[in-house]
């Protein structure tokens, strides 16, 4: 999915959000916005995640740290972990525990520092188990999962990954012979999950953590390592979490690939054919 005019505005607003979230002084804040404005003017015919992979390292140089949102990612994880007991209780009450875990996983997708619209995580979990998917290929996926030898979840944001682990755990309980993999970004970018955060919550206890090699907040095939792509291409099923992965892969025609996310901007809403705030399993 190529950049739209709204995406350019979004990238500028993200840059302002960096300055505000990190409480930067006025000189650094203005430097960030000047740098962002200059960079954004050069972007064309690329996906939003590829544009972000150019912009955020420049912002990191100004801030003086490679992992801009390191502290806020830690807070996101802590807040997600606080909700785990109630989320697991809700899943235990569902007629189909994997379906319940899928809903938990998509609810976690609201934790996103790169979108213009923001949602409350606690509120999301209060309603998610009774909210239908606007685009719903879940039953088809579950049927294929019952026959699959391997599944990869391509992760998205930190905090969200806590609920991805729940999904992996429920799949492992029902299909213990299915090989499970969890793909992460190759380096810090916005608040996306890397090997560091995945290991902190012990995702490796239930799935093999794999570094995709990408420096983009979405799985851009051309940025992934050859080793990762060989593994990716061998999978029976793939779940790509979040809008960044959708923005990179929306034109990929691969019947193994399912997108799972909450619509958080009008550009993606228009692309996928849904409304802002709706849940997608496509």
Residue 44 CB-density burial (10 A; 0-12 exposed, 13-18 middle, 19+ buried): exposed
122 DSSP 8-state letter: H
Rounded CA separation 101/106 (Å)? 9
Please report the pLDDT score of residue 119 as a whole number: 74
Token pair of 113 as six digits: 């520092």
Please give the Cα distance from 73 to 250 (Å, whole number).
27
Residue 191 and residue 70: Cα distance in Å, rounded? 8
At 154, give phi and psi (nearest 5°): -90, 110
CA dihedral of 201, 203, 206, 211, whole degrees rounded to 10: -170
Query: Each residue of 60-115: pLDDT tens digit?
Result: 999 999 999 999 999 999 999 999 999 999 999 999 999 999 999 999 999 887 77
More confident residue, 176 or 110: 176
Tell me how many degrees the CA angle 153-188-85 measures, rounded to the nearest 5.
Answer: 50
Residue-wise pLDDT tens digits, 228-281: 999 999 999 999 999 999 999 999 999 999 999 999 999 999 999 999 999 999
The structural domains of the chain, with segments of one domain joined by +, span 5-63, 70-281
> For 2-41, b where at least 16 C-beta lie within 10 A, e where not — what string?
ebbeebbebbbebbeebbeebebeeebbebbeebbeebbe
pLDDT in tens, 25-67: 999 999 999 999 999 999 989 999 999 999 999 999 999 999 9
Q: How confident is the model over 114-166, as pLDDT tens digits?
A: 776 677 888 889 899 999 999 999 999 999 999 999 999 999 999 999 999 99
pLDDT per position as a tens digit, 177-232: 999 999 999 999 999 999 999 999 999 999 999 999 999 999 999 999 999 999 99
Taking the C-alpha atoms of residue 75 and residue 159, their distance in angstroms, rounded to an integer, is 8
pTM for this model (two decimals) = 0.96
pLDDT attached to residue 116: 67
Q: How high is the mean pLDDT of the chain?
A: 96
SS3 69: coil
Tokens of 156: 């998205």
Q: Give, to the nearest 10 degrees, the angle between helix 48-63 and helix 242-249.
A: 130
- Provide CATH code, domain 70-281: 3.40.50.10880
């Amino acid at each position: 999915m190529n950049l739209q005019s709204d995406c350019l505005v979004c990238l500028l607003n993200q840059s302002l959000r960096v300055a505000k979230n990190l409480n930067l002084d006025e000189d650094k804040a203005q430097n960030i916005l000047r740098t962002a404005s200059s960079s954004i003017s050069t972007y064309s015919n690329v996906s939003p995640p590829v544009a972000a992979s150019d912009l955020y390292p420049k912002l990191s140089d100004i801030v003086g740290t490679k992992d801009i949102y390191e502290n806020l990612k830690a807070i996101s994880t802590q807040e997600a972990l606080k909700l785990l007991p109630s989320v697991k209780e809700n899943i235990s009450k569902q007629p189909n525990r994997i379906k319940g875990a899928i809903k938990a996983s998509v609810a976690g997708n609201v934790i996103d520092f790169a979108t213009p619209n923001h949602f409350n995580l606690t509120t999301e979990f209060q309603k998610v188990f009774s909210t239908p998917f606007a685009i719903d290929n879940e039953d088809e996926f579950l049927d294929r999962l019952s026959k699959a030898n391997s599944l990869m979840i391509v992760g998205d944001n930190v905090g969200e990954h806590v609920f991805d682990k729940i999904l992996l755990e429920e799949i492992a309980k029902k299909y213990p012979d299915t090989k499970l993999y969890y793909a992460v970004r190759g380096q810090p970018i916005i608040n996306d999950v890397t090997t560091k955060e995945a290991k902190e919550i012990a995702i490796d206890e239930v799935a093999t953590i794999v570094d995709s090699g990408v420096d983009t907040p979405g799985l851009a095939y051309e940025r992934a390592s050859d080793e990762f792509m060989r593994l990716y291409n061998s999978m029976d099923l793939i779940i790509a979490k979040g809008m960044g992965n959708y923005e990179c892969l929306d034109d990929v025609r691969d019947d193994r690939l399912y997108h799972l996310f909450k619509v958080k901007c009008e550009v993606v809403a228009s692309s996928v054919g849904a409304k802002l705030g709706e849940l997608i399993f496509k």
